[in-house]
């Protein structure tokens, strides 16, 4: 049985998630687990897919970065799959771990992907440091603090933190911080 897994990091990437699901269906995946969560967050659908697969199944992902955040993480996932007799297929790389060559290619490509990610983060840090030194980096505007009065007014009306967050387009944790902050 082909089991698909699709993931995007944010809700703004809805089209990317839809494209992954569409591709997995076209490949013949009988069951697809999909979620919108950061690779470092708790991924309930990935865990559900790993729990569901059985010997002889193939877990299918469209791209390696949708599945694993590092070579170590990829190794953990592959170990779980191998222990259950399940192969991994990564569509855009043409890798299938049901073959020895596929296993080798996955390890090599995983190392290259992690190297590129680390280089990208290094370039990002350098760019931010340069922008800060030039006084051009201000960071993200604090959206929740700008909406503090609206948050307090809605809370006074008895609205829940979740409803307030949805109505104002901010996170529930931001609402909580505003409502529990001590006045300075």
| Domain assignments of the chain as residue spans, ordered by start | 2-114, 143-180
Q: What is the CATH number of domain 2-114?
A: 3.40.50.1390
The pLDDT assigned to 137 comes to 78
Q: Is 139 left (phi over 0), alpha (psi -120 to 50) or beta?
A: left
Residues marked active site are found at 9
Q: Tell whether pTM > 0.85.
A: no
The pLDDT assigned to 48 comes to 94
The pLDDT assigned to 135 comes to 85
148 closest CA partner among 162, 168, 129: 168
150: tokens are 């609206």
Contact 40, 95 (CB under 8 A): no
Contact 29, 55 (CB under 8 A): no
Each of the 184 residues of the chain gets a pLDDT tens digit; together they read: 999 999 988 766 677 888 999 999 999 999 999 998 877 778 899 999 999 999 999 999 998 888 887 777 888 888 899 899 999 999 988 889 888 898 888 778 777 777 887 888 899 999 888 988 888 877 777 777 778 888 989 999 998 988 988 888 888 888 988 888 876 4
């Amino acid at each position: 049985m082909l089991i698909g897994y699709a993931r995007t990091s944010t809700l703004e990437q809805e089209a990317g998630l839809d494209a992954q699901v569409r591709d997995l269906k076209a490949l013949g995946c009988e069951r697809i687990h999909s979620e919108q969560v950061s690779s470092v967050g708790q991924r309930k659908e990935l865990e559900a897919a790993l729990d569901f697969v059985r010997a002889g199944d193939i877990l299918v992902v469209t791209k390696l970065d949708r599945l694993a955040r590092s070579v170590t993480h990829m190794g953990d996932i592959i170990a779980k799959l191998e222990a259950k007799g399940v192969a991994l297929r990564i569509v855009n790389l043409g890798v299938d771990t049901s073959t020895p060559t596929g296993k080798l290619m996955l390890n090599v490509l995983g190392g290259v992907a992690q190297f590129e990610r680390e280089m990208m983060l290094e370039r990002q840090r350098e760019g931010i440091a340069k922008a800060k030194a030039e006084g051009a980096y201000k960071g993200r505007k604090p959206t929740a603090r700008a909406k503090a009065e609206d948050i307090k007014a809605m809370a006074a009306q008895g609205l829940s933190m979740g409803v307030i967050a949805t109505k104002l387009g901010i996170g529930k944790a931001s609402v909580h911080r505003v409502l529990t902050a001590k006045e300075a």
